[in-house]
């Protein structure tokens, strides 16, 4: 990985493996909550936040498929980014470094 890159990974699973991937993340991190975000023609992004503060994301073909996969995997889907969920997230040092190097363009 390049210096300063974040270590959050995006894993695209076929529909059959999406639920298994969600379950695996939740079991590795003591449970998880998710937020489903629409990303246009690509489908939907499921951002997972583990109970230990780790986070990652996966791509589903649609928001309906993402919500159904979360339900099958036993992951609670939040409707939006609530303060409690954001405070649970623990970004890695690499992510903090990469964010400090970004320059906002006008």
pLDDT number for residue 5: 46
pLDDT at 1: 44
Q: In 3D, which of 89, 91, 95, 90 has the Cα closest to residue 3?
A: 95
What is the phi/psi pair of residue 18, to 5°?
A: -60, -50
Bridge partners of residue 56, in order along the sequence:
48
Q: Render each residue's pLDDT in the chain as its tens digit; 106 residues.
A: 445 444 555 555 455 689 999 999 999 989 998 999 999 888 998 988 888 888 888 999 999 999 999 999 999 898 876 777 666 666 666 655 655 555 555 5
| Paired sense of beta strands 32-38 and 76-78, if any | parallel
Order the strands of the 55-60 sheet from edge to edge: 10-12, 55-60, 44-50, 32-38, 76-78
Spatial separation of the C-alpha atoms in residues 24 and 34, rounded to whole Å: 14
């Amino acid at each position: 990985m390049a210096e300063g890159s974040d270590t959050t990974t995006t894993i695209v699973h076929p529909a059959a493996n999406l639920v298994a991937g969600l379950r695996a993340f939740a079991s590795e991190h003591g449970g998880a909550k998710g937020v489903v975000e629409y990303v246009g023609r690509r489908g939907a992004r499921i951002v997972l936040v583990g109970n230990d503060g780790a986070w990652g994301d996966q791509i589903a073909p649609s928001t309906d498929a993402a919500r159904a996969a979360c339900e099958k995997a036993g992951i609670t889907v939040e409707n939006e980014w609530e303060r409690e969920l954001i405070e649970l997230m623990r970004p890695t040092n690499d992510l903090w470094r990469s964010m400090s190097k970004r320059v906002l363009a006008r």
